[in-house]
Amino acid sequence: MNGSVHHAIDVWLPNLARFAPDHPLHGLLRKADRLDDGERGYMAGLADRFAVPSPLPAGALTRELIAGDAGVERWLCADPAWVQPDLNGARLLACGQMQLSMPEAQALAETLMPLFDEAGMALQVSAPDHWHVRLPADASVPDFAAPEQALGEDLYYHLPQGVEGRSWRILLNELQVILHQHPLNAARRERGLPPVNHLWLWGGGVLPASVPTTLTGVIGDDLLLTALAKRAGIPVIARTESSVTSAAPGMLIDLQDLPVDELAARWTPSLLALAKQHPVQLSFASGERWLHRPWHRLRFWRGSGR
């Protein structure tokens, strides 16, 4: 659990390959000490920082965060999604960020609820872009892929396989048929928005009794990260330039979901100011990690930096 340097501030960044050679963060890297690589990817990064069951029970965690009623029941995330057909099948292009209003989400969900009811499950609209399914205790649930594992890929390779997955494949197909025909999607297209033509099921499990972590706090806006931090009993602070500048050792700053251009324009000044005050671990989503200490800015022989 948590490969971070505990006396440093852990800054979680996008894949290193996305950063151009002239990105201002490279000034910190040139003067920092390279560490062993950490975990790669969003889900692995969360599991590295919080001791949780595998697969991570994202459904129960986020349902508890939003509605506070996860209890001891089993939950799945059922996030509204956009699947685009192509010559070779269909690809997942968006998930959980469909710009739905609550009335729109409820209108879509109401047409799907009978399918879940017939299967002994209950579809719940927890938030416009985050829905959940309450499962019966004896339900056989495949290990569904998290959205990050499937985005941009052919849907076929992420469907539940085998005899046990057959009932889920049928359910998913029926959901797509109903959503494809829903008049709300025609109205969305007229407004230049993608259709909500799929539900991405993932993150099955029950709410863990506790979530151990060595972190002392989190700065970020991510739903699942917030749910984990709340369950771990550590504070969650909204991501702003001032909160980043005010971070203390032991905290995690979550920036891994941001475009690198936005990091350069908006967030790098705060990170550079922070690095003058505290040790900062730069943890890239692709696994590479560096440790920058305040005195490292004096390493002039390693090239220019800020």
pLDDT score of 89: 81
Give the phi and the psi of residue 178 in degrees, each rounded to 5: -65, -45
pLDDT score, position 149 = 93
Question: Residue 143's pLDDT is what?
Answer: 87
- Residue 4's pLDDT is 58
Domain ranges of the chain: 9-52+209-302, 58-206
pLDDT the model gives residue 1: 47
CB-based contacts of 282, cutoff 8 Å, min separation 6: 11, 13, 25, 28, 29, 32, 289, 290, 291, 292
Q: What is the pLDDT of residue 14?
A: 97
pLDDT value at position 306?
A: 41
Tell me which residue of 111, 103, 75 sits closest to 197, measured CA to CA: 111
CA 131 – CA 114 distance, rounded (Å): 15
Q: Identify the pLDDT of residue 172.
A: 95
- This model's pTM is above 0.75: yes
Q: Mark the ranges of the chain whose per-residue pLDDT is less than 50.
A: 1, 305-306
